[in-house]
């Protein structure tokens, strides 16, 4: 169980503000924010027999759907707000939800979160590697590339006519 005054710590506030900025950037408008019907559908899909049986098979216990129910209740409680206030309330709630796991053990115990993008990051990705002037495709992409070219050649030749 999480410490009840974790929200009062300075580290939590800093992490939550980082998450709030990230979510504000990812969701500049209301379009990306799920509606209350989506939250209700998520809750119902968590409680259906197939999901519960899969959870019992995989984890030995029933699926916990209380978080999805709380998300639906939150959505219904802020539904009457102005759309911008609704977006801000949703972003704040999501930021706090994302900040809690970051305070526990995570990769941030080893690496710090990058505040700005890398400067020398390659702008394009090519699935080839070059050694001594000769270039060849990476082993992972070569069969995919060959299959794709075969399919496109077959489609262009209209072999079904």
How does pLDDT run along the chain (161 residues), one tens digit per residue?
455 456 668 888 888 898 999 888 888 888 888 899 999 999 999 999 999 999 999 999 999 999 999 999 999 999 999 999 999 999 999 999 888 888 888 777 788 777 787 777 665 555 556 666 666 655 666 677 778 777 777 777 765 55
Please check whether residue 16 lies inside any domain of the structure.
Answer: yes
Number of independent structural domains in the chain: 2
**Following CA atoms 147, 152, 155, 157 in sequence, which dihedral angle do they give, to the nearest 10 degrees?**
-100
Residue 122 backbone dihedrals phi, psi, to 5 degrees: -60, 140
Q: Residue 148 belongs to what domain range?
A: 128-157
Q: Tell me: do 101 and 133 sit in the same domain.
A: no
Contact 41, 65 (CB under 8 A): no
Q: Tell me: do 76 and 10 sit in the same domain.
A: yes
Q: Tell me: do 76 and 139 sit in the same domain.
A: no
Q: Tell me: do 56 and 132 sit in the same domain.
A: no
Tokens of 24: 């504000």
Q: Tell me: do 35 and 98 sit in the same domain.
A: yes
Residue 106 backbone dihedrals phi, psi, to 5 degrees: -155, -175
Cα 68 to Cα 74: distance, rounded to the nearest angstrom: 10
Q: Tell me: do 137 and 100 sit in the same domain.
A: no
Q: What is the pLDDT of residue 82?
A: 92
Q: Tell me: do 56 and 100 sit in the same domain.
A: yes
Please check whether residue 120 lies inside any domain of the structure.
Answer: no
Please check whether residue 137 lies inside any domain of the structure.
Answer: yes
Q: Tell me: do 74 and 23 sit in the same domain.
A: yes
Q: Tell me: do 12 and 89 sit in the same domain.
A: yes
The model's pTM: 0.60
Q: Tell me: do 42 and 85 sit in the same domain.
A: yes
């Amino acid at each position: 169980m999480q410490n009840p005054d974790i929200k009062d710590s300075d580290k939590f506030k800093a992490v939550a503000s980082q998450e709030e900025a990230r979510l504000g950037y990812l969701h500049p408008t209301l379009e990306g924010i799920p509606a209350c019907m989506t939250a209700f559908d998520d809750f119902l899909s968590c409680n259906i027999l197939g999901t519960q049986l899969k959870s019992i098979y995989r984890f030995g216990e029933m699926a916990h759907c209380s978080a999805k129910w709380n998300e639906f209740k939150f959505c219904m409680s802020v539904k009457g707000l102005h759309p911008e206030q609704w977006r801000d309330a949703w972003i704040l709630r999501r930021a706090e939800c994302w900040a809690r796991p970051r305070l526990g053990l995570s990769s941030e115990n080893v690496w710090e979160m990058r505040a700005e993008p890398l400067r020398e990051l390659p702008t394009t990705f090519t699935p080839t590697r070059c050694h001594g002037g000769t270039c060849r495709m990476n082993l992972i992409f070569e069969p995919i590339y060959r299959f794709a070219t075969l399919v496109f050649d077959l489609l262009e030749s209209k072999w079904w006519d």
